Amino acid sequence: MRTEFPSKPGITRAWHVIDANGAVLGRVASHAAKLLMGKHKTTWVPSIDTGDHVIIVNAAKIRLTGGKEGQKVYRRHTGYPGGLVETGARRMRETRPERMIELAISGMLPKTKLGKQMYRKLKVYAGEQHPHEAQKPVAIAAV
């Protein structure tokens, strides 16, 4: 019996929609990361991007458990001396709710060129509308 090794022409990519309304951030992020990497497929190989496209809607209505709403801090650096910028989770939800999910998912993907390629297949929207109806995405229940 031969082992099948996926090649670029043989990889089929599906489109999935995850509704984050009332779902927990970490659970949605881990499920989306699994879909982006392709670990749900039997053709998964660590060195090839076999994953699917993921659309996440209602990012503004995602839920944080425990005291994370008031305690979680997102940090970034401007590149200038003393340029550390800290933003709380509550403020991040008000200004850029999509970024909360994007950061959670990007932290779960590989930190390589392959991981960046997987990340490009992620689309996050704060509201219910998305412009990807032509791809016929399949709705997945958030965990």
pLDDT in tens, 70-123: 999 999 999 999 999 999 999 999 999 999 999 999 999 999 999 999 999 999
Residue of 115 and 141 predicted with greater confidence: 115
pLDDT at 133 over 80: yes
Give the pLDDT score at 141: 85
| Per-residue model confidence (pLDDT) at position 3 | 80
Domain count, the chain: 1
Evaluate whether residue 89 is within a structural domain.
yes
pLDDT score of 38 more than 90:
yes
- Residue 57 binned pLDDT confidence (cut-offs 50, 70, 90): very high
Please check whether residue 82 lies inside any domain of the structure: yes
Using the predicted structure, report yes or no on whether residue 4 has a pLDDT greater than 90.
Answer: no
Taking phi first (over 0 means left), then psi (-120 to 50 degrees means alpha), and beta for anything else, what does residue 66 get? left
Residue 143 has pLDDT above 80, yes or no: no
Listed in sequence order, the residues at least 6 apart from 8 whose beta carbon sits closer than 8 Å to its beta carbon are: none
Per-residue pLDDT at 10: 86
pTM over 0.85: yes
The domain in which residue 38 lies consists of 13-140
Interatomic CA distance for residues 85 and 78, integer angstroms: 7
Residue 5, in any domain of the structure: no
Q: What is the reported pLDDT for 13?
A: 95
Does residue 33 fall inside a structural domain?
yes
Does any domain span residue 128?
A: yes
Paired sense of beta strands 15-19 and 122-124, if any: unpaired
